[in-house]
Amino acid sequence: MHPLCTELQSVVSANVVSVQKAFDSYQNACFTARPPEFFCLELCGEAGELANLEKKLWKGADISMDRVSDEAADVFISLMNYANARGIDLAAAVSDKLSRIVTSK
Ligand SMILES: [Mg+2]
């Protein structure tokens, strides 16, 4: 495995757990409980909104990076909420996945 991948796994392991837990605490304290299916659909919807902006950018439309950033944030937040509702340990899952990704150079 590439040494940068090993470093990335360490960073993920050291930080993603606390980020995911903080999202869980915030969600549980401030919003109505939802099942994982809800958050999965929300995640897909937000990814679709982001993809739609990228499509417009690709076609040459004048789209502000603030809008793109906002949708990227929605994707991140909905992924956190989905993983928490589904009981997925993203730090472990990402670290495991990184160890199985074959690099291309
Ligand atoms: Mg959105």
> What's the CA gap between 75 and 42, in Å, rounded?
8
Q: Which residues surround ligand 1, an ion (CB under 5 A)?
A: 46, 49, 71, 74
SS3 88: coil
Q: What is the pTM of this model?
A: 0.93
Please give the distance, rounded to the nearest whole angstrom, from the Cα atom of residue 77 to the centre of ligand 1.
10
Domains (range + CATH), the chain = 3-100 (1.10.287.1080)
Please give the distance, rounded to the nearest whole angstrom, from the Cα atom of residue 5 to the centre of ligand 1.
31
Among 17-21, 58-62, 98-102, whose mean pLDDT is lowest? Answer: 98-102
- Cβ neighbourhood burial of 84 (10 Å; 0-12, 13-18, 19+): buried
Please give the distance, rounded to the nearest whole angstrom, from the Cα atom of residue 49 to the centre of ligand 1.
6
pLDDT of residue 102: 84
CB count in 10 Å sphere of residue 46: 20
Average pLDDT along the chain: 96
